[in-house]
Structure 1
Amino acid sequence: MHLSEHHAPLTQQAIGFLGGSFDPIHFGHLRTALEISEALDLKQLFLLPNHIAPHKTSMQCSAVQRCSMVRLAIEKQEKLHIDTRELNRPQASYSIDTLKEIKRDYPDTPICFILGMDSLLGFDNWHQWQDILNYCHLIISHRPGWKCNFNDNIKTLVETCITLHKEDLHRYLSGKIYFQSTSQLAISSSQIRQALLQKKSIDYLLPNAVKDYIQIHKLYKNPSSG
């Protein structure tokens, strides 16, 4: 995808948010976050651990433990940060609610909300999905050479809001959709949990500090309940 060579003066450098259960966090999450942060010249990129209801404890670990693993994973990476607002809520909330809250905290800063291609395909099922771009840009992380058939709602949304110029993400506060190619490492949290359950090695799937934390706290030892 061709990007503009024109670099206008930036009035306000954008910040990014990448949500996920991070159950546990791994190199797939971290590499995507770092590549997008660098490719789009983001001022900051926040990992946003999602709230998980207590009765859906597929991880057998607390919100505090998931948060601790994220902190350990990024402690030596100055480009990445953590935002705990969803973990601090007593119940799960919709993305639109989180984005409204983020916008209140950063009223004059462009917000980039990062999604995978699979999330974009079902985006029109999200709560108040038509309003989300009033609060942020959508950054779609995808494999190189992606090809996708969107339904009519998503096709219209993309055609209306797509930009090929990353400078627009800093120039406008919200409303743009930008597709960013990333490495898309074939690692999943469920794969890691299954390996631990089967007493197999999780080396090279996540940072050593996170692996050590999992071992010390004896996490993911029981079959997933959700």
Structure 2
Amino acid sequence: MQSPAIGFLGGSFDPIHNGHLLPAIEVAQQLQLQTLFLMPNHIAPHKATSHCSATQRATMVSLAIKTTPTLHIDTRELKRDSASYTFETLKEIRTDYPDSPICFIMGMDSLLSFDSWYQWQVILDYCHLVVCARPGWKGEFNSNIQALLNAHQTVEVADLHLFKSGKIYFQQTVQFDISSTQIRHNIKHDISIKELVPKQVADYIYQHQLYR
């Protein structure tokens, strides 16, 4: 018996904010996902891009989703010693959930460069791609992406539950003009982040003096 579809949304979440959370909740509802896992990416400790530890980023995600039953955290990428390819992660997820349709959620910018991803030609063997788009977005795709869309795009949400993988679906989501960079800047310059992140996350950031 096939289980209902589950979703995965990756990001550095450094820190997680309302611009991540609200579209995630919207996608989970619109697609009727059983669960949507937020999956913090591995960031190499020596990289300038890492502003706080993997544990701290995971804790903030857990705090942010505490009151949203559909959202869960998946820490598999944080447990690795090196950055991982999406392809490898999806192979592992498919092993863990052999009977569930899997929706891998990405932004439009990721789709535009999708043919530069490692093993991109076979990623749809492991999951569906759900692309979050701004309402009314019109853009041009290169020939690789266009061919992929011609072969795999669906406009039916039901297909994401009917098939375990292999579909590309565009989901319109409200886009928020919030970035982790902006939040880190605000903290550094003592500007309020109250409207940008959940209260529990703001409390944790100030308590641990992160991004100072």
What TM-score do you get using the length of structure 1 for normalisation?
Answer: 0.92
Contact 2:91-2:126 at 8 Å conserved across structures = yes
| 1:217 aligned partner | 208
The answer as to 2:23 corresponding to 1:39 is no
Once the two structures are aligned, what percentage of the paired residues are identical? 59
- How far has the Cα of 1:90 moved from its partner? 1.1
Unaligned runs of 5+ residues in structure 2 are: none
SS at match of 1:18: strand
Q: 1:207 aligns with which of 192, 198, 210?
A: 198
Residue 175 of structure 2 aligns with an amino acid whose one-letter code is: Q
Supply the distance in 2 between the matched residues of 1:99 and 1:29 (Cα, whole angstroms).
21
| 1:99 aligned partner | 90
The answer as to 2:168 corresponding to 1:150 is no
- How far has the Cα of 1:159 moved from its partner? 1.1
CA gap 1:26/1:118 in 2 versus in 1, 3 angstroms: same
Contact 2:2-2:100 at 8 Å conserved across structures = no
Supply the distance in 2 between the matched residues of 1:56 and 1:39 (Cα, whole angstroms).
37
| 2:99 aligned partner | 108
Alignment of 1:1-226 (within 5 A): 11-221=2-212
Supply the distance in 2 between the matched residues of 1:30 and 1:128 (Cα, whole angstroms).
29
Whose RCO is larger (CA < 8 A, sep 6+)? 1
Unaligned runs of 5+ residues in structure 1 are: 1-9, 222-226
CA gap 1:11/1:107 in 2 versus in 1, 3 angstroms: closer
Contact 1:140-1:179 at 8 Å conserved across structures = yes
Residue 41 of structure 2 aligns with an amino acid whose one-letter code is: N
Supply the distance in 1 between the matched residues of 2:161 and 2:204 (Cα, whole angstroms).
37
- How far has the Cα of 1:154 moved from its partner? 0.5
- How far has the Cα of 1:199 moved from its partner? 1.6
Contact 1:12-1:171 at 8 Å conserved across structures = no
User: Cα RMSD (Å) of the superposition?
Assistant: 1.0
Supply the distance in 2 between the matched residues of 1:207 and 1:198 (Cα, whole angstroms).
19
- How far has the Cα of 1:12 moved from its partner? 2.8
Moved over 3 A (4+): none
Number of residue pairs matched by the alignment: 212
- How far has the Cα of 1:148 moved from its partner? 1.0
Supply the distance in 2 between the matched residues of 1:162 and 1:203 (Cα, whole angstroms).
39
Supply the distance in 1 between the matched residues of 2:51 and 2:9 (Cα, whole angstroms).
23
- How far has the Cα of 1:59 moved from its partner? 4.1
SS at match of 2:68: coil
Contact 2:43-2:50 at 8 Å conserved across structures = no
- How far has the Cα of 1:194 moved from its partner? 1.1
Supply the distance in 1 between the matched residues of 2:26 and 2:131 (Cα, whole angstroms).
12
Supply the distance in 1 between the matched residues of 2:47 and 2:105 (Cα, whole angstroms).
24
- How far has the Cα of 1:57 moved from its partner? 4.3
Residue 26 of structure 1 aligns with an amino acid whose one-letter code is: H
Residue 6 of structure 2 aligns with an amino acid whose one-letter code is: I
SS at match of 2:46: helix
What TM-score do you get using the length of structure 2 for normalisation?
Answer: 0.98
Contact 2:2-2:99 at 8 Å conserved across structures = no
Contact 2:43-2:49 at 8 Å conserved across structures = no
- How far has the Cα of 1:108 moved from its partner? 1.0
